Structure 1
Amino acid sequence: MSSFPPRFMDGHDERIDTDAAVRQTDSDAAIARFSAVQKQYLYDPFIKHFLPRGAQHQSARPPLINIGTYVRSQAIDYLVNQWITFSAQEGKKCQIVSLGAGSDTRFWRLATGPRKETLAKYIEIDFAENTTKKAMAIRKSRDLSAALGKPEDVTLVSGGTGLSSPVYHLLAADLRSSPTSSLAPLLQAKDAISLPLLDPSLPTLLLFECVLVYMTPAQSSGLIQWFVDYFSQSGSHTTLGGIVYEMFGLSDPFGKVMLANLKTRHVELPGAEPYPTFESLRNRFLQHGFEESNATTLRDYRRSGIESSERQRISQLELLDEMEELELVLAHYAITWGWKSFGDGEQKSRWSNWRF
């Protein structure tokens, strides 16, 4: 989970750990979300448990970041909730796999809300450094632990780098590695008599929030294709969906400034190269045989996806002077989503309505 816009700590050590710079974006994202909660853009009672030490005492983020965080959250929440609703219409629970999840609180927001019975599995996968910190935070918090089920059903796994419960699973892996070596051992059945953690017969949604942009195109393509093959080879009638949130169009003047700023903080965005224009975003899923793929910028969603009464409420929270800058930034962040059906015509008709 990366911040919006990306903010990184300065690095003065000559021995630069580029992975640490990427991992730092998650801490920045948690602080940005906490700021948006403090300013009443969002309601999220769980984000405080995942803040870096001392972050609760930091000053709130500027309005531009609070608004960007709000728009991003509202748009992704809408698509996720719609996905869950369509799964329920099939009479099935669904699975959500959040890759590069970081400090995201979505599971707890779902597990304590009216949709809690609709989840069969909620799986988060991230760097071991991130999952270890998250597992510790969960164990320390009564609020977080209570949502996982009975204490005896919740266990630390893989030397404390992960956590397992009846529905929620926190797993450590480097998503840049071959999925055969990184994902298969975690998600597939271990032998002929075991059940896989990821059930190929259930509607499954993949979440990629600012993660693929840090990977090479070959790595991200291999990651998505692994899931396509996993469900295709099962022979089950179900639907696989994906949501990607990240920067794009970084070849224009404003995008070049964004890239230059990131490079000074030792962060590269190799995954942005195949997506120089808005029109190119749909290829993210179409190249893997998805039947439908759509995209929207945060700028467009803010303009037309949020109800007028809500826009009015948001406009009264803080004074925003940098409207032109806000529009430019929002125009360089997009949400792309797509679905692939392994079922019949009725299934396809239902999922074709998955859109804003």
Structure 2
Amino acid sequence: MYPPPSRLHATHDDPDAPVRATDNDAALARLSAVSKRYLNDPYIAALVPRAHLQEPRPPLINIGTYLRGQGIDELVDGFLRSAGDATQVQIVSLGAGSDTRFWRLAAGPHKDRIAKYVELDFPDNTTRKAMAIRKSRVLSPALGSPDVVSVAAGGTALRSPVYNLLPVDLRHSPESSLRPLLASPENPLLSPSLPTLLLFECVLVYMTPAASDALIQWFVDYLSAPLGSIVYEMFGLGDSFGRVMLNNLRSRNVELPGAAPYPDLASLSQRFLRLNFTDANALTLYSIRRSHIDPTELDRITKLEMLDEIEELDLVLGHYAISWGIKAPEAADWRNWRIHPKARAVVDEDEYD
């Protein structure tokens, strides 16, 4: 959760390098959580250079990565189920980086439900990912036969019948950036009449509030079918611990212009309601760990590693949240779309010491 400083220095020629580098840290964190048996992801190693040589991350990062993954996985699965078994859906992952969700879905029970899976990111990130996919015997088969897969835009884009990896700067006006990619009048990549899920994992906080609102609003206006959105990011950074987090990131030349409007959990839900979603919710990772993980599973991950500072863990988890919103004509049909509470687990905190 705290990116290492060595890779995050901006240059005068490339001020966005620190933000792009956070994707590498997220990939290494997931690789570490997989290697320590918190998560099962057979695809992440293919997207991390020299994966077998990477050092594991500290337990605090592994636990946070696990909770993030569990919460978002449940929401994605719930969205697909809520849309109806006979309905195809579209998923758009914005600032996707090295995410492996497409491959995990392609190998799971919902594989035939995905009409389009679109990943959007900076051109540097999409170029690296496109090259890794094309070279990987693990990743490339899920896209289809080679004759239906194409590299485009000078190697920055990868297109297939379902999966599409496209370069874009999400801070630009959606009319000039998203519409040509996703909604061209001749051959739109996204259908406005299919249920669509947006994924934002540590993306909007790096954008100005005006830019992130415009980004979400574009999808609200374009889509006539149910629209879901999941956001994972830090929030509530006005307290003493939050200021430490901000200063830590600033020392690595990473700014969070999108953090200020979201001082508490309620404000994260209000983002969606303000942008004409019909229902919205939010949970901190702290809450997810305490009451939304199956007790048996929580007991399993508690025993994977020793953790010295449980208070620091709780502080960090309390500053990261998953929020989600739905825009649907019949909101009641979607009110069961959530991260469901599990029987409260009794965690022996001494097991961490």
How high is the TM-score relative to the length of structure 1? 0.92
Residue in 1 that maps onto 2:84: 88
SS at match of 1:124: strand
2:69 maps to which residue? 73
Query: Closer, same or farther in 2 for the Cα pair 1:134/1:255, shift >3 Å?
Result: same
**Residue 354 of structure 1 is aligned with which of 319, 337, 349?**
337
Report the equivalent of 2:255. 268
Aligned: 1:227 with 2:224? no
1:184 aligns with 2:179: yes
Write the distance in 1 (CA, Å) between the matches of 2:103 and 2:268. Answer: 30
Q: Does residue 24 of structure 2 align to residue 27 of structure 1?
A: yes
Q: Distance in 1 between matches of 2:74 and 2:15?
A: 33
User: Helix, strand or coil: the match of 1:18?
Assistant: coil
Decide whether aligned partners of structure 1 residues 222 and 38 sit closer, same or farther in structure 2, where only a CA change above 3 A counts.
same
CA contact (8 A) 1:8 1:28 kept: no
Number of the residue aligned with 2:305: 318
Count of paired positions: 339
Matched to 1:143, the amino acid is: V
**Pairing partner for 1:201 from 176, 193, 204:** 193
Q: Quick check: 1:9–1:24 contact (8 Å CA) kept in 2? A: no
* Residue matched to 2:153: 158
Alpha-carbon contact 1:94-1:119 (below 8 Å) kept: yes
Aligned to 2:34: 37
Give the secondary-structure state (helix, strand or coil) at the position aligned to 2:210: helix
SS at match of 1:270: coil
Over residues 294-333 of structure 1, what are the superposed CA-to-partner deviations in whole Å (9 max), with x where a residue is unaligned? 0000000011110000001101111111111000000000
Match of 1:174 among 169, 172, 190: 169
| Counterpart-to-counterpart distance in 2, 1:288 and 1:63 | 37
CA 1:62 to 1:16, structure 2 compared with 1: closer, same or farther past 3 Å?
A: farther
Query: Match for residue 248 of structure 1?
Result: 235
Per-residue displacement from partner, 1:121-162 (whole Å, max 9, x unpaired)? 100000000000000000001111101111111111111101
Contact 2:209 2:257 in 1 (8 A): yes
CA distance in 1, matches of 2:198, 2:309: 34
Partner of 2:343: none
- What is the Cα deviation at residue 17 of structure 1? 3.4
Q: Secondary structure at the match of 2:227?
A: strand
Q: Provide the TM-score with structure 2 as the length reference.
A: 0.93
Contact kept, 8 Å, 1:173 with 1:182, in 2: the verdict is yes
1:49 to 25, 31, 46: 46
Tell whether the 8 Å contact from 1:176 to 1:220 is kept in structure 2 after alignment: yes
* C-alpha contact 1:8 1:21 (8 A) present in aligned 2: no
Q: Let me know the Cα RMSD of the aligned residues.
A: 1.4
Match 1:123 to one of 113, 118, 123: 118
Contact 2:38 2:301 in 1 (8 A): yes
Q: Amino acid of the residue matched to residue 329 of structure 1?
A: V
Q: Does 1:140 align with 2:135?
A: yes
Query: Which residue does the alignment assign to 1:61?
Result: 57
5+ residue gaps in structure 1? Answer: none
Amino acid at match of 2:67: V
Alignment-derived partner of residue 347 in structure 2: none
Q: Distance in 2 between matches of 1:113 and 1:318?
A: 29
- 3-state SS of the aligned residue for 2:288? helix
Amino acid of the structure 2 residue aligned with 1:336: S
Match of 2:91, SS state, is strand
How far off is 1:12 after superposition?
6.3
1:304 aligns with 2:291: yes
Q: Which whole-Å CA distance do the structure 1 matches of 2:91 and 2:9 have between them? A: 39
- Between the aligned partners of 2:10 and 2:182, the Cα distance in structure 1 is 38
How far is 1:197 from its partner? 0.5
Q: Return the alpha-carbon distance in structure 2 between the equivalents of residues 55 and 47 of structure 1.
A: 9
Report the Cα distance in structure 1 between the residues aligned to 2:91 and 2:6, rounded to whole angstroms: 31
The residue type paired with residue 43 of structure 1 is N
Contact 1:248 1:333 in 2 (8 A): yes
Say if 1:88 and 1:118, in contact at 8 Å, map to a contact too.
no
CA offset digits 1:321-350 (Å, max 9, x no partner)? 111100000000001100001x3x4xx322
- Deviation of 1:11 (Å): 5.6
Q: Deviations over 1:43-97 (max 9, x none)?
A: 001000111x3343122111111001000000000000000111134x3111100
Q: Name the amino acid aligned to 1:255.
A: G
- Summarize the Cα distance change of 1:190–1:156 in structure 2 as closer, same or farther, 3 Å threshold: farther
Shift of 1:15: 3.4
The 1:304–1:13 alpha-carbon spacing in structure 2 relative to 1, beyond 3 Å, is closer
Counterpart Cα distance in 1 of 2:13 and 2:63: 32
